[in-house]
Amino acid sequence: MSDQTYYYELYRRSCIGVALMDSLDDMISKGSITPQLALKVLSNFDRSIAETLANRVKANFSFKGHLDTYRFCDDVWTFLVTDVTFKFPQKNKPTISTNKIKIVSCNSKKPGEE
């Protein structure tokens, strides 16, 4: 990491991230863009999605479930939770239930910050 801030690549596995990578792969295969440009686009995607989620999303909810598995590796926490129920503070929002969720939590502080 030089003087640029590093952003996690977590959202590349989201639906929109996978679609972006598929499109970039197609463009590289057709010779429309270079692999270096594709990497720059992905880096910008990582930055944009992290900043947007941090600065523009104001939604909140609570959830309850059973912690099945957790691990901490390379400064990243991963939790697998089963029998999960989500509750939203708005009265008109329904309660949502699911069998299993995966929560990935990364350090949001830059190196040197406390």
Tens of pLDDT, residues 29-76: 999 999 999 999 999 999 999 889 889 988 889 999 999 999 999 888
pTM of full prediction above 0.85: no
* Choices 1.10.10.60, 3.30.565.10, 4.10.780.10, 2.30.18.10: CATH for 62-106: 2.30.18.10
Residue in 86, 79, 80 with CA at minimum distance from that of residue 64: 86
Classify 64 as helix, strand or coil.
Answer: strand
> What's residue 112's pLDDT?
62
- CATH superfamily, region 10-55: Transcription factor IIA gamma subunit, alpha-helical domain (1.10.287.190)
> What's residue 1's pLDDT?
38
Average pLDDT, the chain: 89
User: Can you count the helices (H) and strands (E) in the chain?
Assistant: 2, 3
> What's residue 92's pLDDT?
84
* Residue 9 pLDDT grade (very low, low, confident, very high; cuts 50, 70, 90): confident
Bridge partners for 98 per DSSP = 84
Non-local (6+) Cβ contacts of 111 within 8 A are 1
DSSP alpha helices (H): ranges in the chain? 15-30, 35-55
HSE (CB half, 13 Å, CA atoms) of 1?
8
The burial class, CB within 10 Å (0-12 / 13-18 / 19+), for 44 is: exposed
Enumerate the domain spans of the chain. 10-55, 62-106
